[in-house]
Structure 1
Amino acid sequence: MAGGVAAGLVAGALWGLVFVAPRMVTGFSSVDLTAGRFLSYGAVSVLMLLWAARGPRRVPTGSQALAAIGMSVLGFTGYYLLLVLAIRDAGTEVPTLIIGTIPIWVMLLGKPEHLLWRSLVPGLLLTAAGLGLMMASPHAGTTAAGSPNYWRGIVLVLLALACWTAFAILNAAWMKKHRDVNATEWANWLGVATGLGALVLWLVAGSPARELAAQPQLPLFATLAVATGFGSAWLATILWNVASRRLSASLCGQLIVSETLFALVYSFAWDGQWPTPAQWAACVLFTLGILASIRAHR
Structure 2
Amino acid sequence: MSMAEAGTHAGSGHNIPLGMLCGAGAGALWGLVFLAPQLVGTFTPLQLATGRYLAYGALSAILIAPRWNGLIQGMHRRNWLALFWLSLFGNTLYYILLSMAVQTGGIALTSLVIGFLPVAVTIIGSRDKGAVSLAALLPSLLLCAAGAACIGWQALAAPGATRQSMTGLLCALAALASWTAYAVGNTRCLARLPAVSGHDWNLLVGLMTGTQAILLLPLAVLDGHRLHSPEQWIRFGSVSLTVAIAASLFGNALWNRMSRLVPLTMTGQMILFETLFALLYGFLWEGRWPRMPEMAAFALIVLSVLTCVSVHQRQSARLRGLADCLPENGV
Choose 1 or 2 for highest CA Rg.
2
Identical aligned residues as a percent:
33
Of 140, 144, 151, the match for 1:127? 144
SS at match of 2:71: coil
Q: One-letter code of the match for 1:30?
A: P
List gaps (5 residues or longer) in structure 2. Answer: 1-14, 314-331
Match of 1:116 in 2: 133
Of 19, 36, 39, the match for 1:24? 39
Separation of aligned partners in 2, 1:143 and 1:24: 26
- Normalising by structure 1, we get a TM-score of 0.91
Question: Matches of residues 43-82 of structure 1 in structure 2 within 5 Å?
Answer: 43-52=58-67, 57-59=70-72, 60-82=75-97
1:91 CA drift (Å): 2.0
Report if the CA contact (8 A) 2:101-2:172 is conserved. yes
Of 218, 222, 235, the match for 2:250? 235
Report if the CA contact (8 A) 2:52-2:244 is conserved. yes
Q: One-letter code of the match for 1:31?
A: L
Q: One-letter code of the match for 2:136?
A: S
SS at match of 1:247: coil
Of 165, 168, 192, the match for 1:177? 192
Match of 1:217 in 2: 232
Separation of aligned partners in 2, 1:21 and 1:113: 39
Question: Matches of residues 176-215 of structure 1 in structure 2 within 5 Å?
Answer: 176-207=191-222, 214-215=229-230
Match of 2:288 in 1: 273
1:246 CA drift (Å): 1.8
Report if the CA contact (8 A) 1:42-1:196 is conserved. yes
Separation of aligned partners in 1, 2:114 and 2:201: 24
Match of 2:309 in 1: 294
**Residue-by-residue CA offset, 1:154-197 (whole Å, 9 max, x unaligned):** 22221111110011111111111111111011101000000111
1:52 CA drift (Å): 3.7
**Residue-by-residue CA offset, 1:222-278 (whole Å, 9 max, x unaligned):** 111011111111111111111112211110101101111000000000000011233
- 2:262 equivalent to 1:247: yes
1:167–1:186 CA distance, 2 compared to 1 (3 A): same
Q: One-letter code of the match for 1:22?
A: P
1:144 CA drift (Å): 7.4
Match of 1:13 in 2: 28
- 2:99 equivalent to 1:84: yes
- Normalising by structure 2, we get a TM-score of 0.83
List gaps (5 residues or longer) in structure 1. Answer: none
Question: Which segment is superposed worse, 59-68 or 97-106?
Answer: 59-68
SS at match of 2:63: helix
Separation of aligned partners in 2, 1:259 and 1:3: 17
SS at match of 2:70: coil
Separation of aligned partners in 1, 2:37 and 2:189: 31
1:77 CA drift (Å): 0.2
Separation of aligned partners in 1, 2:237 and 2:159: 26
Q: One-letter code of the match for 2:161?
A: A
- 2:56 equivalent to 1:41: yes
Q: One-letter code of the match for 1:145?
A: A
The alignment of Structure 1 onto Structure 2 pairs a total of residues equal to 294
Q: One-letter code of the match for 1:57?
A: G
Separation of aligned partners in 2, 1:140 and 1:100: 16
Report if the CA contact (8 A) 2:108-2:151 is conserved. no
Report if the CA contact (8 A) 2:156-2:165 is conserved. no
Match of 2:320 in 1: none
1:198–1:144 CA distance, 2 compared to 1 (3 A): farther
Cα RMSD after superposing both structures? 2.3
1:207 CA drift (Å): 4.5
1:21 CA drift (Å): 1.1
Q: One-letter code of the match for 2:188?
A: A
